[in-house]
Amino acid sequence: MTTPLTMLELRLNPQGLIRFAQENSVNRNRDEDLGYATHAWLKALFQERSPKPYRLIHGASLKLLGYSSDSGPALLEQAQAFASPLALGVTRIEDLQHAMPNEWRPGRRLGFEVVVCPTSRKEGHEKDLYRHRMERLTEGERAPSRETVYREWLKKQMGDAARLETAHLEKFRFVSHYRREMGQKKLERPQAMLKGVLTVADSDTFNRLLARGIGRHRAFGYGMLLLKPA
């Protein structure tokens, strides 16, 4: 039996988040997707119970969705007891929980959406999977599309948890990332939104996939599988 998941849904005050980032010296122009600022804020709020994966959604309002193995009341108690007023001021912490199903029927079809950072590591450096694939083309081989490369990668990421039926590349861009340990070095990585349909293969394995997320940089806003009926 796997640990039940809680989905967090928090509406954020953008000015409050930037104020927190500024006060904690993590407000950087290079943090284009606010991944590092949000990561630091979640750590200040929940410490080791920070949700991962999560996703920051920009729209009419700024919203954060995330999965956690801790219950809503436990997370609320953690934040209220130990977080600073500055961190608490970014959101209404009382409105944070939504229970997730604990069992997923094998064979169930689900629509999905996921924002990922599809990279591979080579000689200690990260590189866009598509660029890496292009470098390995053999003579006479037809170049695959970026969508095809990412779809094949996503299929491998799902493993035995689910069968990928369809997937298309909804959005793509390169974004600038900030990581404190990299100092002034500029980091530019791919950001891809994939949408499609999957079929659950195994309930426990699928639940673990949701809890783990897809790909790299899951602590910085990537890899959260959002689901809907297919």
What percent of the chain shows pLDDT beyond 70? 94
Average pLDDT score over residue span 41-70: 92
Q: Where are the domains of the chain?
A: 6-99, 109-229
**Per-residue pLDDT for 160 more than 90?**
yes
Where residue 129 falls among pLDDT bands split at 50, 70, 90?
very high
pLDDT of residue 180: 67
pLDDT of residue 30: 81
Higher pLDDT, 179 or 60: 60
- CA distance linking residue 95 with residue 101, whole number of Å: 19
| pTM for this model (two decimals) | 0.90
State pLDDT tens for residues 184-223: 666 789 999 999 999 999 999 999 999 999 999 999 999 9
Cis peptide before 51 (omega within 30 of 0): no
* Residue written as token pair 């608490």: 88
Which range has the top average pLDDT, 3-7, 121-125, 204-208?
204-208
pLDDT of residue 93: 80
**Per-residue pLDDT for 102 more than 80?**
no
Task: Give the chain's mean pLDDT.
Answer: 91
**Per-residue pLDDT for 132 more than 60?**
yes
pLDDT of residue 181: 64
Distances (CA, A) of 144 to 24, 125, 130, 132, 152: 44, 23, 9, 12, 11
- CA distance linking residue 213 with residue 215, whole number of Å: 7
**Per-residue pLDDT for 4 more than 60?**
yes
Whether the Cβ atoms of residue 52 and residue 8 lie closer than 8 Å to each other: no
pLDDT of residue 159: 96
The distance from CA 173 to its chain's CA centroid, rounded to whole angstroms, is 16
CATH architecture observed for domain 109-229: 2-Layer Sandwich (3.30)
